[in-house]
Structure 1
């Protein structure tokens, strides 16, 4: 579908959803599956155990994670989503394909694929294995539902990979790793059929740092008035980082503007986020989604 036509369709769909919300008519129920690792299940933050009863953890580990944040946003927007997740720490997409196919090989309306943080654990920065697994999984899901929307997440720059000497992106700008991950995801979309869109989480983090909302170097202390998107290991995300992650997923999947979520947004309040920071994160997500749409 040409990019202009795709944008028009997404906008019309978003307008229809908003009209349904205003009229009080519920949007039709849909299913979404999240496949990923610790970046999806919210490791080292309160997001990991955030309302697991709102989602179906196919591994039965009591995970809420980013999927539960998405579910909360969807409920606030009046959308009926059944949310499932299949996650395992430190795994790439090829591992899920080999080891969890029996759990995930079902009809879904939307699937979010989140791969290894450096693309390849043995060859950091090499997208070959990541792209091959993403395309194979997309074909698997399309065999079950030809209309499924399979989106590929591009995650964030790891501070430990950038600022420490043994990191693959050592001496590069902190934004570089996220830019490389986005480029790899875009490459996957053009390599073969089946993938619908890139979820630009990492470049949303870049934007938050450029805008002065988030600190760009956790190793030199937290700048006054800024937040850290990383948690204590400078690898995984903080509650703010995962919140931004979920906002970008929500906007990508639904076509809705994250800024239209309630001013007193429930998930941010549950996590104890500063309301002003939460609002700024919603604005960052909206700005990055718009920038990525315009870049197509």
Structure 2
């Protein structure tokens, strides 16, 4: 029996039809990831393991000069894990100069920060500089260099979204004698940091928001979830501070990452649930993870009630950088 084979042109047409049908079969190419840069110091990498090195292999460290870098994962690493579980595509980068301010980042790392590839940039100031000058702060310098960095980012990519990462009250500056907040409740430093960051965001007007990590710490304390004074431990409360009483503990780092997730992506951290993978890897009990997720969600919503609505998350899709000509037009129109 003679078999008739299809012509070459028919085969080509069939293959082409199959390729064109792949998107309809759910095999369409995924959108580009949101490329995010975290800019700060050890208040981002958290200093202490297990948070310090957590998920370090899955984020990119942007090295500045000859600085030594370790397996820094920290809060950016936890954030990255959250986005994976939430089904969000984030390419996470971290530029860190230990113990330094935004002025140092501007002076030493502007060539990294002012690149058009960043869709999202998160800025963290030195833990004392947003405070009033009477409390060892440098608020004018903080606002000046935050604005300089914002302008550099938006000159490179006017569509980029910038956020402040509001840090938390330091127990070491509150409970021991002869410190900036000695004799005052922990609330005092927390409230001053809140004012410093939110005033800077309002004054500039080109920041997308503030990730209120410090406010979430105070909320956790007031809710009885976390210790008010790490120098006087209480049973059944987590300690948000690390052994030095100013860097975050594992629990503090986890809470901060939950706040960043909610504020930046619009994803409600409570949806992660008690069996969340980063918590399990970090040794955080399921009940503790749920409590910290709840506190973070409540604080983000307290500052911005529409944070988790569908309309509020439409802008999270990365937008490409404008052409050089459009960048000049945007800069000249300020």
Taking structure 2 as the reference length, the TM-score comes to: 0.78
Q: Which residue does the alignment assign to 1:16?
A: none
Structure 1 segment 53-72 matched on structure 2, within 5 A: 53-59=57-63, 61-72=70-81
1:42 counterpart = 2:54: no
**Matched residue, 1:286:** 297
Q: CA, structure 1 residues 37+24, in 2 after alignment: closer, same or farther (shift >3 Å)?
A: farther
| Map 1:220-239 → 2, pairs under 5 A | 220=232, 222-239=233-250
The DSSP-based 3-state class of the residue aligned with 2:295 is helix
What's the counterpart of residue 98 of structure 1? 107
1:256 partnered with 2:267 = yes
Instruction: Tell me the equivalent position of 1:30.
Output: 34
Question: Which of these two proteins has the greater Rg computed from alpha carbons?
Answer: 2
Per the alignment, residue 273 of structure 1 pairs with: 284
Identify which range, 114-123 or 142-151, moves more after superposition.
Answer: 114-123
Which residue of structure 1 lines up, in the alignment, with residue 188 of structure 2? Answer: 176
Of the three residues 64, 73, 79, the one matched with 2:82 is 73
Unpaired runs of 5+ residues, structure 2, are 1-25, 64-68, 308-334
Cα distance between partner residues in 1 of 2:182 and 2:217: 18
Task: Report the alpha carbon displacement of residue 262 of structure 1 after superposing the two structures with TM.
Answer: 4.0
Runs of 4+ in 1 over 4 A off after TM superposition: 23-28, 120-123
Q: Deviations over 1:40-78 (max 9, x none)?
A: 011123211112111000125431111111100000000
User: How far apart, CA to CA, are the structure 2 residues paired with 1:250 and 1:24?
Assistant: 28
* Aligned-pair Cα RMSD in Å: 2.1
CA distance in 2, matches of 1:282, 1:51: 19
Q: In structure 2, what is the equivalent of residue 111 of structure 1?
A: 121
Give the Å deviation of 1:29.
1.5
2: CA distance between counterparts of 1:58 and 1:262?
32
* Structure 2 residue matching 1:163: 3-state secondary structure: coil
Q: CA deviation at 1:270?
A: 0.7
| Secondary structure at 2:165 match in 1 | strand
TM-score normalised over the length of structure 1:
0.87
CA distance in structure 1 between the partners assigned to 2:110 and 2:131 by the alignment: 21
Checking the alignment, whether the CA contact within 8 Å between 2:55 and 2:81 is kept in structure 1 is: no
1:172 Cα deviation after fit: 1.5
1:133 and 2:145 correspond = yes
For 1:145, the equivalent position in structure 2 comes to 157
Equivalent in the alignment of 1:213: 225
